[in-house]
Structure 1
């Protein structure tokens, strides 16, 4: 499954452009711009599984660094600072990874 099976290619392109500069990534704004906040829980799970490269059921820090590439192949890597900020926001139980339910 491709990300564009769930989200609009135009919305993805606009969001990627908005956060093209290093250290500009804001996960809340990005997810809003790509239209994920308006999607059903089922669609959110589909996106999660696309981003979960190793299909472990979690998005670990090493996968999180490349999260923008999950939306489009030419997406940039997140900086270490962006990755750690994003992980801290999504890792509710402090185990170093993000589960579909935020744990």
Structure 2
């Protein structure tokens, strides 16, 4: 589970920050989680947890549930938030985010 990678307190803090329908900001989310300070192996682990169907990619549907991937308390992203994040993360334009793209997205945060 995600708490094997990131302390639960940090997850709760990050989820809570975006609870009120505040525009989702991936960079801020990553910082609140401290994910940018984790090892590449931990970032990869987080990716695989978010990749629910184990396709090797985070597709749009999974991206919409990114907050829920960290905590059941998380909300779904809006369609706009999801699309914005997909555009930001999908460097090769295939409509989904691979592990390298996810790692880059975290590193850029």
TM range (shorter): over 0.9
Give TM-score, length-normalised by structure 1.
0.95
Trace 1:1-103 onto structure 2 (pairs within 5 A): 2-102=1-101
**Structure 1 segments of 4+ aligned residues over 6 angstroms from their partners:** none
Gaps of 5+ in 2: 103-109
Give TM-score, length-normalised by structure 2.
0.90
Q: 1:34-84 CA distances to partner (integer Å, 9 max, x unpaired)?
A: 010000110000000000000000000011001111100121000001000
Which sits farther off after the overlay, 46-55 or 20-29?
20-29
Q: Which has the higher helix share?
A: 2
Alignment length, in residue pairs? 102
| In structure 1, C-alpha distance between the alignment counterparts of 2:69 and 2:61, rounded to whole Å | 13
Gaps of 5+ in 1: none
